[in-house]
Structure formats: structure tokens, C-alpha cells
């Protein structure tokens, strides 16, 4: 492609509404343009990258034996009523009516559609297992789209679904998909980790997420320095060192803490460690039908620890999603507001985190305005009803297995695999006959990759001061030829033209900067670096004086002179792999 004929939509200024580096660079390099919140146009350069990533995903999926299909993005409500998700999904599901006033939605995922398809086509256990996948646009009406294509409302996803006659088969395919995902992210040259994950609203039990490591990631992932333990922080578990077990027990004392409410402020006032304070959080309960109630529940945590809301809301009787009680309600029921609460003489259901189980001589609120109790110990008047793990794991906790230390890093979720079990096949009555001629409900797995998100994730890991540094297998072009002074030098014009033609003949993805004298060399260099083309040839009268052209590698910046006679040989060697 010749740049003079191409939409190279680079911008010099950093866009004001971009926060993270990949978003800034995707706008600056002219890969995407925003249409509306969470909706993006893919420009020619960006689409080439997206297509390259799709190609790798497709190759590896095909290699795994999965069959590619394409399902509609518009789905009718009936299917969603069958799975009971029409109501469950909430605002994320964009619903609308057709001309006959029938309910439809834009597909945020395709469990219902694929299950409907398979139940119509599959009749025998002999046809299983079967894996289907598609690479297609999804729409999720996100509350807050952000970070460009990283969290867009409309995005490209590779979603796959597998069907099985038994658990063993599901497990096998799950492991095979795990390996396929591993291969895909490996080929994309990403620094990634797989972690045990919460399956969330999609249902099912076993689940793993694949995260690209990046400081801008929205997720926190935890892994052990020894052994294989790795998990999303939402469900990560770890052990804390017990800090004051050897201390002799003292007598408790009520102290005035005035207007100090936060754990840090109280610790400072009393000159004690934050870890010796018990933090009391009050949340709403839930009745047997799952409706939020006004019954309040106290959650007890060590002062230096944070609540893991996901863990807490999974507990029996705790409102899900978790809802903190308002200050007014707490004051009404307990007699003092947030900031002076404690387990002593508190007439609520009290759930203690493991971190407070072994505390001695601790400080907690006295349930009276402006007062705390110091040197408290667990006793009849100050007790908890049950112990649970409701703590957010922290850096340097001890791993439960392997004896390692836990490390917390930020990640971008680019893949998620689930064992769904019979959730959808049961709801939609997707059965096949087993060897005994009996109808059995199929087991399912589902496997997603955020393809458009991968473009952004890759940039997060592959950039420098000057711009994007594409890995070769996803770069929009392999080679950029920059011609300088072509209007002055016949030789420059001829050599760059002939080299360009030769590259096309050889099947090399080549971009030629043939813009005229109005585009200065500086602009050409800066833009070639911004858009991150791996290899660059500069053809100018300066180097031609030595009968050579100049080659630069984008990643390590290493330059070399290549004699014009050796040029084609050089390119063949460089780019034929």
C-alpha cells in the first residue's frame, strides 16, 4: 500500500479523553475512531491488526477440532425466556421490538442460540463431543464503557461452546480448550497468566480466566511464588501471619476517641497498630427468596484487611449483590453510627473473618458515639456467631498450597473458560440418546476470547516512547519503505518503486511512504514509529551515495546499511519466515 493512497489517520496531540496508553496510541496511530460512547469505527490500519489476531485465533481453534459457525447478532426473546435470562440479565441486555412488537435483543453472548441449534441437529451420543465457535460482534450495554476498545459496548468476541455426553468428556474438552487458549496467547506474544475464576452470572462451576499482565488492567489477580496457585482476587484465598499471639491478655477499657472514625485515625490516636483493631462492617441480609431485607449483619475484619465483597455476598443470608447499610439505619438499630461499631454486646448476626479469629488485646468500637474499647478479648459478651473467609487477599500473604508467598498483580481479562454443566441444556431441553436409547441432557462448556480487546492489550505490552511496537505476527504491515527526496532524486524514486513492487510480488505486507515533498522526513520517521511497523527501510540520496539503503528494526532500534545489490536477498532473509 502506498501512503499517498491510504488513510493514515495519525494525530500529533494526545486525545483528551483517553486515559490509558493503548487507548491514546490507538487514536494517535489512527487504528480506531469513536462513533459514540463504547462504539468504535475500525480504520484500515486497525482492522488489519484485528484481522491478524482473528486469523491466529481461528487457526488455533480449527486445530483444536472446533467447527466455525456464525450466529445472528439479533436474537428473539423467547429463547431468553426459556433460559430465564430475559429478566435476569438486567440493563446490560439491549432489548427492542420489531415491527410486529415482538421482543428482541442484541446478543451479548450466545449460549441460548447455540443450545437451540444443537438440540435441533444432534440426536445421538455418537455425535459428541462437539465444539462450535464463532468470531462475531457482541453488544453489551455496559454501565460505563471506558478505555477505548478495552471496554466497549460493541466488541468482537470469539465465543465457543462444547457439548458432551458425560463429565469426563467435558473435562477433556475443557483441558483441550485451556491448552488452545494457552497456545493462542503464546503465539500473540503476550505476557499472560491463567487464574482460577469466579464463574459469575453465566453459571457453572469450574472456570479459568486468562489475563494479560498490565498495570492498567481492571482486574487483580493473585499468584503464588511457588507452586501453581493462581486466582482472581475475587475468590483468592491465602493465610495471614498471626501477629500478636504471644502477648499476655490484658483487661479491657473504654476510651474516648472523639470524632475519630477511620481505623487509621483511631490507631493513630491510641498509638497502636492498625492490625490490632477490629473493623465492623454492617450489611443488609437477604430473605429465603433472595430479596434484600432490613435484617442487618455485622462483618468483622482485622483493621489492616479489606473486605472481599464477592466472597461476602456468597454467604447464606447475606444480600447479593452486597449492600452496605446506611448510616441512618445503623444509628437507628444500634444507637451509634459507623465508626464506633464493634462486636461487643452487638445484637446482630456476626460473621468473623479468619483474620480476627486469633486476635488478642484488640481494639474495637464500643457501639457508643465517640467511644472504643481497647485490650478487648473474645468472651461471652464479645463473640462472633461464625467464621468465614471474607477477606481480600493481600500481597505477601502465605499461599495455602506449595508454601509460597502470594503476589498481587493487575491484569486485563482476555479469555474466560467455563464448565457450564447442564444450566442451559436443562433449561432448553437439549438432549441426545445414550447407548441405552435413553434421552440424556447434554453437558456444556463455553469459552470466550475478547478479540478486539486483545488489540488494546497487546499495545499495553508492546509500546515505547515513540509509539506502538507491534509483534511481527499481528503487525498491520511487515515493512515500511520511507523514501526521502524522491522529487529530487530519480534514483531514490526508482529504487523505492522497484523495491516496493518486488515486495508485493514476494507477498510481503509492505507500506510505502511515497508522500511528496510537503511531508518532511521527520514526519515520516515519527509516523513510521508511531504506527509500529516492525521493519523500516529508508531510501534516500544520502545512503545511495554509498550505494546502500538504511534498515532499522522498530523494536531494538538497531540500524544497518544494506548494499542495494544485496537488498532483495536481505528482505527475503528478513521476512520469509
Partner RNA sequence: CGGGGUAUAGCGCAGCCUGGUAGCGCAUCUGCUUUGGGAGCAGAGGGUCGUUGGUUCGAAUCCAGCUACCCCGACCA
Q: What residues line the site for RNA (CB under 7 A)?
A: 10-13, 15-17, 19, 28, 34, 36-38, 92, 140, 142-147, 150-153, 155, 157, 200-202, 209, 218-219, 309-310, 313, 321-322, 413-416, 448-450, 452-453, 466-467, 484-485, 487, 517-518, 520-523, 525-527, 529-530, 538, 540, 542-543, 550, 552
Smaller CB distance to RNA: residue 159 or 260?
159
Smaller CB distance to RNA: residue 119 or 153?
153
Contact (CB, 8 A) for 534 and 52: no
Smaller CB distance to RNA: residue 91 or 167?
91
Smaller CB distance to RNA: residue 146 or 371?
146
- Least Å distance, CB 541 to RNA, is 7
CA dist., res. 281 & res. 271, Å (int): 23
Task: Name the H helices within 7-65.
Answer: 21-28, 44-63
CA dist., res. 353 & res. 168, Å (int): 36
- Least Å distance, CB 392 to RNA, is 10
CA dist., res. 30 & res. 18, Å (int): 14
Backbone angles phi, psi at 517, to 5 degrees: -65, -15
Smaller CB distance to RNA: residue 116 or 529?
529
Contact (CB, 8 A) for 512 and 5: no
- Least Å distance, CB 576 to RNA, is 25
Start-to-end CA distance of the chain, whole Å, equals 21
Contact (CB, 8 A) for 33 and 543: no
Smaller CB distance to RNA: residue 122 or 155?
155
- Least Å distance, CB 42 to RNA, is 13
Smaller CB distance to RNA: residue 93 or 128?
93
Output helix, strand, coil percentages for the chain, rounded to the nearest 5. 30, 30, 40
CA dist., res. 537 & res. 560, Å (int): 10
Contact (CB, 8 A) for 567 and 498: no
User: How many CA atoms does the CB half-sphere of 57 hold within 13 Å?
Assistant: 26
- Least Å distance, CB 436 to RNA, is 36
- Least Å distance, CB 444 to RNA, is 14
> Virtual CA dihedral for 70, 73, 76, 77, nearest 10 degrees?
120
CB count in 10 Å sphere of residue 113: 20
Smaller CB distance to RNA: residue 155 or 229?
155
- Least Å distance, CB 557 to RNA, is 9
Smaller CB distance to RNA: residue 208 or 276?
208
List beta partners, residue 467: 464
- Least Å distance, CB 489 to RNA, is 10
- Least Å distance, CB 411 to RNA, is 10
- Least Å distance, CB 410 to RNA, is 11
- Least Å distance, CB 218 to RNA, is 5
Contact (CB, 8 A) for 442 and 428: no
Smaller CB distance to RNA: residue 436 or 522?
522
Which of 111, 47, 89, 8 lies closest to 513, judged by CA? Answer: 8
Smaller CB distance to RNA: residue 164 or 392?
392
Which of 415, 426, 412, 434 lies closest to 111, judged by CA? Answer: 426
Contact (CB, 8 A) for 133 and 67: yes
CA dist., res. 466 & res. 485, Å (int): 24
Distances (CA, A) of 319 to 169, 290, 372: 36, 7, 28
Amino acid at each position: 500500500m502506498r501512503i499517498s493512497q491510504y488513510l493514515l489517520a495519525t494525530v500529533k496531540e494526545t486525545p483528551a479523553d483517553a486515559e490509558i496508553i493503548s487507548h491514546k496510541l490507538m487514536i494517535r496511530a489512527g487504528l480506531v475512531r469513536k462513533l459514540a460512547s463504547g462504539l468504535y469505527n475500525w480504520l484500515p490500519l486497525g482492522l488489519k491488526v484485528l484481522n491478524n489476531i482473528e486469523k491466529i485465533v481461528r487457526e488455533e481453534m480449527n486445530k483444536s477440532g472446533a467447527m466455525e459457525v456464525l450466529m445472528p447478532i439479533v436474537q428473539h426473546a423467547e429463547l431468553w425466556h426459556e433460559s430465564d435470562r430475559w429478566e435476569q440479565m438486567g440493563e446490560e441486555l439491549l432489548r427492542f421490538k420489531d415491527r410486529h412488537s415482538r421482543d428482541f435483543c442484541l446478543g451479548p453472548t450466545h449460549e441460548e442460540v447455540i443450545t437451540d441449534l444443537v438440540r435441533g441437529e444432534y440426536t445421538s451420543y455418537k455425535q459428541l463431543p462437539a465444539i462450535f465457535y464463532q468470531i462475531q460482534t457482541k453488544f453489551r450495554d455496559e454501565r460505563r464503557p471506558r478505555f477505548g476498545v478495552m471496554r466497549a459496548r460493541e466488541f468482537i468476541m470469539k465465543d465457543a461452546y462444547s457439548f458432551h455426553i458425560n463429565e469426563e468428556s467435558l473435562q477433556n474438552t475443557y483441558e483441550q480448550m485451556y491448552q488452545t487458549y494457552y497456545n493462542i496467547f503464546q503465539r500473540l506474544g503476550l505476557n499472560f497468566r491463567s487464574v482460577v475464576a469466579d464463574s459469575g452470572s453465566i453459571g457453572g462451576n469450574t472456570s479459568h480466566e486468562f489475563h494479560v499482565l498490565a498495570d492498567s488492567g481492571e482486574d487483580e489477580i493473585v499468584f503464588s511464588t511457588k507452586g501453581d496457585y493462581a486466582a482472581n482476587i475475587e475468590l483468592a484465598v491465602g493465610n495471614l501471619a498471626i501477629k500478636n499471639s504471644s502477648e499476655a491478655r490484658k483487661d479491657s477499657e473504654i476510651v474516648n476517641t472523639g470524632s475519630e472514625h477511620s481505623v487509621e485515625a483511631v490507631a493513630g490516636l491510641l498509638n497502636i497498630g492498625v492490625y490490632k483493631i477490629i473493623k465492623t462492617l454492617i450489611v443488609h441480609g437477604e430473605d429465603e427468596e433472595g430479596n434484600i431485607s432490613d435484617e442487618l449483619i455485622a462483618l468483622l475484619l482485622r483493621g489492616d484487611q479489606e473486605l472481599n465483597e464477592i466472597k461476602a455476598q456468597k454467604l447464606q443470608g447475606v444480600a447479593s449483590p452486597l449492600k452496605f447499610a446506611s448510616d441512618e439505619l445503623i444509628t437507628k438499630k444500634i444507637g451509634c453510627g459507623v465508626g464506633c461499631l464493634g462486636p461487643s454486646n452487638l445484637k446482630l448476626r456476626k460473621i468473623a473473618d479468619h483474620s480476627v479469629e486469633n486476635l488478642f488485646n484488640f481494639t474495637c468500637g464500643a457501639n457508643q458515639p465517640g467511644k472504643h474499647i481497647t485490650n478487648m478479648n473474645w468472651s461471652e459478651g464479645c463473640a462472633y456467631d461464625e467464621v468465614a473467609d471474607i477477606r481480600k487477599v493481600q500481597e505477601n500473604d502465605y499461599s495455602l498450597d506449595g508454601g509460597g508467598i502470594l503476589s498481587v498483580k493487575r491484569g486485563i481479562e482476555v479469555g474466560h473458560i467455563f464448565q457450564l454443566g447442564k444450566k442451559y441444556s436443562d433449561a432448553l431441553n437439549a438432549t441426545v440418546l445414550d447407548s441405552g436409547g435413553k434421552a440424556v441432557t447434554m453437558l456444556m462448556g463455553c469459552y470466550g476470547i475478547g478479540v478486539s480487546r486483545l488489540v488494546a492489550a497487546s499495545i499495553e505490552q508492546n509500546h515505547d516512547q515513540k509509539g506502538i511496537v507491534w509483534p511481527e505476527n499481528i503487525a498491520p504491515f511487515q515493512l515500511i519503505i520511507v523514501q526521502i527526496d524522491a522529487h529530487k532524486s530519480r534514483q531514490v524514486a526508482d529504487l523505492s518503486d522497484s523495491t516496493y513492487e518486488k515486495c508485493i510480488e514476494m507477498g510481503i505486507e509492505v507500506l510505502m511512504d511515497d508522500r511528496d515533498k510537503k511531508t518532511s522526513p521527520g514526519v515520516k520517521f515519527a509516523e513510521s514509529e508511531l504506527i509500529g511497523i516492525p521493519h523500516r527501510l529508508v531510501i534516500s540520496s544520502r545512503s545511495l551515495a554509498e550505494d546502500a539503503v538504511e534498515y532499522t528494526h522498530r523494536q531494538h532500534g538497531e540500524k544497518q546499511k544494506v548494499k542495494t545489490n544485496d537488498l532483495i536477498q536481505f528482505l527475503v532473509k528478513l521476512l520469509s519466515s
